[in-house]
Amino acid sequence: MTNGAGAGERGRLDWALADLAYRAWTVANHAYVLKASNGRLGYVHLRDMSGESLQDFYKDLDAQNATRDGVVIDIRNNFGGFVNAYALDVLARRPYLNMTFRGFDKSEPARSILGQRALERPTVLITNRVTLSDGEDFSEGYRALGLGKIVGEPTAGWIIYTSAGKLIDGGTVRLPFITITDNHGQPMEGHPRPVDIPVSRPLGESFQHKDSDLDAAVHSLLGTAGDAN
């Protein structure tokens, strides 16, 4: 019992430390993008495609990025889940009305005032070779909907739905049960989602406090906003 409890405690501690390291990484990336864009661009990382991460995505877009000229969307190292359509929907909604309250000079987008989530800002997407499964669905949707440029590395090419099948010895094996195709009917399994702006990060550049993916994303998005300098 003691050994089991100890192992469980170590597991919780390992998870907590990994989560702290992840939070520190995203905070550093946000600061990096702010500095590189002279405060014009925001940043959000979508950790995976779970419901919890989707709620974090909503909060980050609302709290940190709604006042920026554009937002860098980062899905590097995203192992997937099931919420790609909900995340894409926030990015795909387009403005059509503004509202100005009596006594105020500045108008605001009607969607947000009426309670509907909509970023309504230009974006750029960063992927890498460890973006897989529903993260690749997100990348494909981002491209198909024409939401912006994709920067970094092609995705893993590992997208197929599986379920657990039991073995006679009590073990389990994952069995494919849904195949995924793009809008043209081409299979996505074994076919990485491409990028528009390929980036190959030099080995060890993170120790120099540099991120070539973020640099390329910022440059591309500022160019979209009419300022490539």
Is residue 228 scored above 50 in pLDDT? no
Q: Does 132 reside within a domain?
A: yes
Q: Write out the DSSP string of 10-36.
A: HHHHHHHHHHHHHHHHHHHHHHHHHHH
Q: Does 135 reside within a domain?
A: yes
Tally of domains in the chain: 1
Q: How confident is the model over 8-50, as pLDDT tens digits?
A: 777 788 889 999 999 999 999 999 999 999 999 999 999 999 9
Q: Does 185 reside within a domain?
A: no
Q: Does 10 reside within a domain?
A: yes
Q: Does 216 reside within a domain?
A: yes
Q: Does 170 reside within a domain?
A: no
Structural domain containing residue 104: 2-153+193-224
Which pTM value belongs to this model?
0.89
Q: Does 20 reside within a domain?
A: yes
Q: Does 139 reside within a domain?
A: yes
Any idea what the CATH number is for the domain that residue 203 is in?
Answer: 3.90.226.10
DSSP state of 85: H
